[in-house]
């Protein structure tokens, strides 16, 4: 196996750390790393190959939304690794369906060898199968264990919350962690006065929009920006724009937060199903509320008064009209979504009325009908380019498939030649043993045939090592693009479905420049990207 590189995958989740000292030591990153490297060093065929580690520390194995895992799979798809190794199946994935997809489809298709040390599994030993019932049962057990652990963790968290302890997340705006009691919160001297002021303004009847505008004029940092400033190492709010300001929603969110009365409030959401990421909001009656768990910023009476005034002035709910470009337009200055002004029929940055950045206020767009016309013609041009590109791509794929088929034929012929030479070598050995050929003649013939076999096997290895140009995931993207073009080819005007099928987002800049980012932009070469 020439030019082989090994991808080492290591994972440790918070759940692993909660299952006791022995388990924690067994699954630690250091333990996994030591076990895997010791295994590789002990196997002569693997010890000399280059290795690369991919580590996810603090990520669950019940899904594949893990950064290092995704980087590793992307590198494997690019052909940079021909072997993947883990401590056991559960480190790779705890979902037995996803585990089966990788073992039965992706890895065999990419000719990638997978090794699970503690499970005694090496895909090279199974000749195209996944190891049968034993592997399936192990994966099902890991999956069931994760679901059971998820339920137990949920119960443990609920018991802690009923005691008024914060078990997840960070303290809300206005509070900070208590250095002496990590599960409790204390007043943040910088932001608590801001919270107090918001409630006082709300009780005085000041509209929420005006409160947001005043905070922005005074340069007071909104919750997300303040959190990033205090916690630069955290991933929370990492993708948010630096220019985010106070809005109606951020101010009203503070006014509705009961925790400012000193009560612990938890259990507002729950998992839709064990081991799943999606959550659903619970009714207020099912929340866990424990009064008097930390210092209050406002009294319960003040909170009740603020709610009464806030709800009395709350914006009336109107029917939401869906227009073709809804949620696609983004301010090129602050990267926040733009909304449609029904009066002017123009789009504006949602932070502009709240005292946002000057350039946000200066951003000007064509009227709705003109903007939709621009995007519609751009999509038509894109479809023409896409269809031309698809025709070229299909032609290229046909040529590549023919070349791949030819390569496979060559490999089969070379393997037949190797098998024939090995049989011939065996017959020569029989002749030597029976006395029909001298030792010198046998050794000369053997040396010649060994050289031929080595040369043929080298050619086979080289052919097998060639990149497969017809990747399955790439084929899927091109097929989807072709289907989308077919579905909207005859449209006469822009529709919501058409816009969202082709466009990822539209950046609108203060200098009236518009940049369209396409959903299928990776299907084209650099010169073909709009």
What value does the mean pLDDT take over residues 38-63?
Answer: 87
CA dihedral 316, 321, 323, 327 (to 10 degrees): 40
Residue 63 clears pLDDT 70, i.e. is over it = yes
Class of domain 175-313 as given by CATH: alpha beta
Rounded distance between C-alpha atoms, residue 78 and residue 471, angstroms? 9
- The mean pLDDT of 118-126, rounded to a whole number, is 82
The CA-atom distances, in angstroms, between 296 and each of 192, 195, 299, 301 are 10, 11, 7, 12
pLDDT tens digits along 371-383:
999 999 999 988 8
First to last CA, the chain: 42
β-strand partners of 83: 6, 113
Measuring CA to CA, how many Å separate 453 from each of 3, 64, 406, 514?
Answer: 20, 43, 21, 63
3-class state of residue 357 by DSSP: coil
Phi–psi pair at 369, nearest 5 degrees: -65, -40
Which residues, other chains included, contact 513 with Cβ-Cβ below 8 Å and sequence gap of 6+? 332
DSSP state of 261: G
Confidence of residue 22 (pLDDT cuts 50, 70, 90): very low
Integer-rounded Cα radius of gyration of the chain:
32
CA atoms of 21 and 76, how far apart (whole Å): 34
| pLDDT band per the 50, 70, 90 thresholds, residue 109 | confident
Give residues with Cβ within 8 angstroms of 166, minimum separation 6.
183, 184, 185, 264, 266
pLDDT digits (tens, 9 = 90+) for 222-266: 888 888 888 887 777 766 666 677 888 888 889 988 889 988 887
Domain 6-160 sits in CATH at 3.40.50.1390
Structure letter (DSSP) for residue 524: S
Confidence band of 392 (pLDDT split at 50, 70, 90): confident
Q: Residue 102: how many CA atoms within 13 Å on its side-chain side?
A: 27
State the pLDDT at residue 24.
45
- Residues 470-515: pLDDT tens digits? 444 444 456 677 778 888 888 889 998 899 889 988 988 877 788 9
For residue 172, give every residue at least 6 positions away whose Cβ sits within 8 Å of its Cβ, in sequence order, or none: 185, 257, 259, 260
At CA 436, angle to CA 435 and CA 439, rounded to 5? 65
Cα separation of 451 and 517, whole Å?
57
pTM for the whole structure: 0.44
* Domain parsing of the chain, residue ranges: 6-160, 175-313, 370-528
């Amino acid at each position: 196996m020439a030019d082989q590189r090994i991808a080492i995958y290591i994972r440790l989740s918070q759940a692993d750390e909660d299952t006791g000292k022995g388990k924690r030591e067994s699954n630690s990153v250091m333990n996994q790393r030591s076990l895997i490297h010791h295994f590789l060093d002990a196997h002569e065929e693997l010890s000399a190959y280059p290795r690369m580690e991919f580590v996810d520390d603090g990520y669950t194995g019940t899904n594949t939304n893990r950064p290092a895992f995704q980087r590793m799979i992307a590198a494997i798809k690019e052909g940079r690794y021909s072997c993947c190794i883990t401590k056991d199946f559960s480190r790779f994935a705890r979902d037995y369906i996803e585990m089966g997809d990788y073992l039965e489809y992706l890895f065999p298709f990419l000719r990638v060898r997978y090794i699970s040390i503690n499970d005694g599994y090496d895909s090279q030993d199974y000749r195209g199968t996944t190891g049968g019932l034993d592997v399936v049962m192990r994966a099902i057990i890991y999956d069931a264990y994760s679901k059971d652990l998820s339920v137990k963790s949920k119960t443990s968290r609920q018991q802690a919350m009923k005691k008024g302890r914060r078990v997840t997340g960070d303290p809300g705006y206005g509070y900070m962690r208590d250095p002496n009691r990590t599960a409790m919160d204390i007043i943040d001297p910088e932001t608590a006065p801001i919270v107090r002021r918001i409630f006082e303004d709300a009780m005085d009847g000041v509209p929420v929009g005006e409160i947001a505008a005043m905070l922005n004029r005074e340069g007071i940092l909104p919750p997300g920006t303040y959190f990033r400033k205090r916690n630069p190492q955290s991933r929370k709010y990492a993708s948010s724009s630096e220019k985010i300001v106070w809005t109606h929603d951020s101010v009203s969110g503070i006014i509705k937060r009961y925790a400012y009365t000193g009560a612990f409030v938890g259990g507002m959401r729950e998992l839709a199903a064990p081991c799943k990421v999606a959550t659903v909001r619970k009714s207020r009656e099912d929340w866990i509320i424990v009064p008097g768990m930390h210092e209050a910023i406002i009294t319960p009476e003040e909170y009740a008064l603020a709610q009464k005034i806030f709800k009395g002035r709350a914006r009336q709910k109107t029917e939401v009209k869906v227009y073709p470009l809804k949620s696609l337009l983004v301010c090129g200055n602050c990267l926040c979504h733009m909304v449609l002004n029904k009066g002017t029929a123009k789009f504006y940055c949602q932070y502009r009325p709240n005292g946002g950045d000057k350039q946000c206020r200066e951003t000007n767009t064509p009227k709705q009908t003109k903007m939709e016309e621009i995007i519609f013609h751009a999509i038509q041009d894109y479809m023409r380019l896409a269809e031309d590109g698809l025709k070229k791509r299909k032609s290229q794929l046909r040529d590549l498939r023919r070349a791949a088929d030819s390569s496979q034929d060559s490999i089969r012929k070379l393997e037949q030649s190797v098998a024939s030479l090995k049989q011939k070598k065996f017959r020569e050995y029989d002749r030597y043993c029976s006395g029909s050929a001298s030792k010198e003649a046998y050794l000369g013939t053997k040396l010649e045939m060994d050289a031929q076999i080595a040369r043929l096997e080298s050619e086979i290895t080289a052919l097998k090592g060639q990149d497969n140009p017809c990747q399955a995931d790439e084929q899927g993207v091109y097929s989807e693009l072709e289907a989308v073009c077919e579905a909207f080819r005859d449209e006469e005007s822009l529709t919501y479905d058409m816009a969202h099928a082709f466009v990822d987002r539209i950046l609108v800049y203060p200098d009236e420049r518009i940049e369209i980012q396409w959903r299928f932009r990776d299907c084209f070469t650099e010169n073909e990207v709009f």
